[in-house]
Amino acid sequence: MVMACLVGVSWLLPMTPALGQEPPPSLRGPKTIPSPPEQNTPVAAPPQIQLLISARQQFVAEPEAARIVLHIHNSTPQTTWLYRRAKGKHPLEDRPREEDQPIETTGGSTVEVRLQPADAKAAQAVITPAEATTLEYVQMPKPRLAKLAAGGDYDEVSIVHLRPALAEGQKPVWGAYKLTVAYGASFSNGDQFQRNLGTPLWRGEVTSNTITVELRPPLPDSKGVLAGAALGKDLQPRAGIRVSLSDEQGQLIDQQVTGGDGRFSFANLPLTTYWVAGRREDAKEDTLIYHHEELTGAAPSVNSQLVFFPVEIYEAKKLVHKPVLLRVFDADHKPLGGIEMDVIFSNGDILDEVKATSGDDGMAAMELLPGRSSISLNRHGCAEQVERVDVDPGVGVDSFKFAFTCEKK
């Protein structure tokens, strides 16, 4: 059994929920501060942020991926929080829910890359638009919250696979492209976050400046092909497996998500060594498996099989955690800094302990397992105060507030 600890609250940077269990008899109900009725509570608009992008490479030769740096600046006098890290923007899925299942939260930050030929004549000849795919976690997702202070800056790197536009005859249009990024964030419980804590979780969308990147064709000797299939323990194809291709140093090159046939294929590869990794796209636990494959002149094509077996998890670090923001107030509703927080989750199989200390604004960011946990609030000279935290299932962010009453020891 492993106890995962997290200490500190400033700048927390870069994912099956465990369902809640009944609290022990000694656990008191949470001393949360009541909020006014929702319909009478104005929700302040999150502060606007500015987005400036830059590329780490002057050119990108297929099959390489571009590294786009997002430079985010908060020019307002108000602190805000960002959800890290941003994923590619996809249509929302309408998932059926059983009547006895709790409602899952949704949300997060997204990146949408817009790409078009810089040359006007080349743009007019385009039959199929260029594509930009934001690559995601190779391993189990580990979302975090990043605090963006007033006037502060935050950088995040998006890894993007760029595919050129196609002209007549399916001919790739290589050369210079104009690239912009739309950075956005939305959360199903975003208004609750503002009402609970009086501080905004940033939501909205902002568009970046435009940069120019050059897309180049594969090198003449890039004739390697790495293909294969994702299979279950019954050796039947598995859909919904995110397969990642990385170079020998672990730098991500491309990704695919398997369909019903379980197949994946990466072409136009230089003859060298690669890592092929796969994980279940919807898993809430660590399902990562990987292979080391080498492409040579004698064997330029390799078939790789990723076989997934059921996993048994007994370590908290192998489960997806959810970002949570907590705030502590005194009896006069003033933020309390220096409150030591110790959150313990236990369901009989998994034990998770996370620690943090509230800042001057009373805030502390943590990553917790969905379900019910106990939280101890401690301050020098005061008796320990025990509350509970019920983290909702789903993705996105949860928020909690507590009124700390210093009862002398």
* Residues 67 and 195 placed together within one structural domain of the fold: yes
Q: Are 131 and 116 in contact (CB under 8 A)?
A: no
* Mean pLDDT (whole number) for 117-138: 95
Q: Summarize pLDDT for 53-110 with one digit per residue, the tens.
A: 999 998 999 999 999 999 999 998 888 999 999 999 876 555 555 666 778 999 999 9
Closest alpha carbon to 138 in 157, 159, 114, 156: 159
**DSSP states of 350-364 as a string?**
-EEEEEEE--TTSEE
Length of the chain: 409
* Residues 203 and 252 placed together within one structural domain of the fold: no
* Three-state secondary-structure class, residue 303: strand
- Average pLDDT, whole number, for the chain? 87
d(CA 297, CA 272): 9
* Residues 62 and 194 placed together within one structural domain of the fold: yes
* Residues 205 and 231 placed together within one structural domain of the fold: no
CATH number of the domain to which 243 belongs: 2.60.40.10
On the question of pLDDT at 184 being above 50, the answer is yes
On the question of pLDDT at 160 being above 80, the answer is yes
Q: Of 8-12, 234-238, 353-357, 397-401, which gets the smallest average pLDDT?
A: 8-12
* Residues 303 and 229 placed together within one structural domain of the fold: yes
Q: Which of 308, 338, 364 is the last residue of a domain?
A: 308
Q: Are 228 and 276 in contact (CB under 8 A)?
A: yes
pLDDT of residue 157: 97
d(CA 396, CA 389): 16
**What pTM did the predictor assign?**
0.85
Helix (H) or strand (E) holding 155: strand 153-163
Range(s) of the domain holding residue 239: 224-308
* Residues 191 and 253 placed together within one structural domain of the fold: no
In a domain, 385, yes or no: no
pLDDT of residue 92: 57
d(CA 205, CA 186): 9
Instruction: Find the radius of gyration of the CA atoms of the chain.
Output: 24
On the question of pLDDT at 21 being above 90, the answer is no
Q: Are 262 and 237 in contact (CB under 8 A)?
A: yes
Percent of the chain that is helix, strand, coil (3-state, to 5): 5, 45, 45
* Residues 63 and 208 placed together within one structural domain of the fold: yes
In a domain, 92, yes or no: yes
Q: Which of 308, 339, 365 is the last residue of a domain?
A: 308
* Residues 61 and 133 placed together within one structural domain of the fold: yes
In a domain, 347, yes or no: no
Q: Summarize pLDDT for 26-43 with one digit per residue, the tens.
A: 333 444 443 333 333 334
> What burial class does residue 223 get, using C-beta atoms within 10 Å of its C-beta: 0-12 exposed, 13-18 middle, 19+ buried?
middle
d(CA 375, CA 6): 14
In a domain, 115, yes or no: yes
At 199, the pLDDT band (50, 70, 90 cuts) reads confident
Q: How far apart, in Å, are the Cα atoms of 196 and each of 32, 80, 86?
A: 9, 14, 24
> What burial class does residue 6 get, using C-beta atoms within 10 Å of its C-beta: 0-12 exposed, 13-18 middle, 19+ buried?
middle
Enumerate residues 6+ apart whose C-beta is below 8 A from 309.
233
CA-angle at 147, arms to 142 and 149, nearest 5°: 165
Q: Summarize pLDDT for 239-286 with one digit per residue, the tens.
A: 999 999 999 999 999 999 999 999 999 999 999 999 999 999 999 999
Place of tokens 């500190």: 8
Q: How far is CA 318 from the centre of its chain?
A: 16
In a domain, 195, yes or no: yes
In a domain, 375, yes or no: no
> What burial class does residue 211 get, using C-beta atoms within 10 Å of its C-beta: 0-12 exposed, 13-18 middle, 19+ buried?
middle
Tokens of 123: 């743009």
Our count of domains for the chain comes to: 2
Q: What contacts 24+ positions apart, CB below 8 Å, involve 378-385?
A: 378/339, 378/340, 378/341, 378/342, 379/336, 379/338, 379/339, 379/340, 379/404, 379/406, 381/406, 381/408, 381/409, 382/406, 382/407, 382/408, 382/409, 383/407, 383/408, 383/409, 385/31
Q: Which of 175, 196, 216 is the last residue of a domain?
A: 216
* Residues 73 and 194 placed together within one structural domain of the fold: yes
In a domain, 28, yes or no: no
> What burial class does residue 92 get, using C-beta atoms within 10 Å of its C-beta: 0-12 exposed, 13-18 middle, 19+ buried?
exposed
On the question of pLDDT at 171 being above 90, the answer is yes
pLDDT of residue 98: 60
* Mean pLDDT (whole number) for 370-389: 96
* Residues 210 and 228 placed together within one structural domain of the fold: no
Q: How many CB atoms lie within 10 A of CB 297?
A: 9
Q: How many helices (H) and strands (E) does the chain have?
A: 2, 28
d(CA 100, CA 272): 52
In a domain, 6, yes or no: no
Q: Are 147 and 74 in contact (CB under 8 A)?
A: no
* Residues 101 and 232 placed together within one structural domain of the fold: no
pLDDT of residue 194: 81
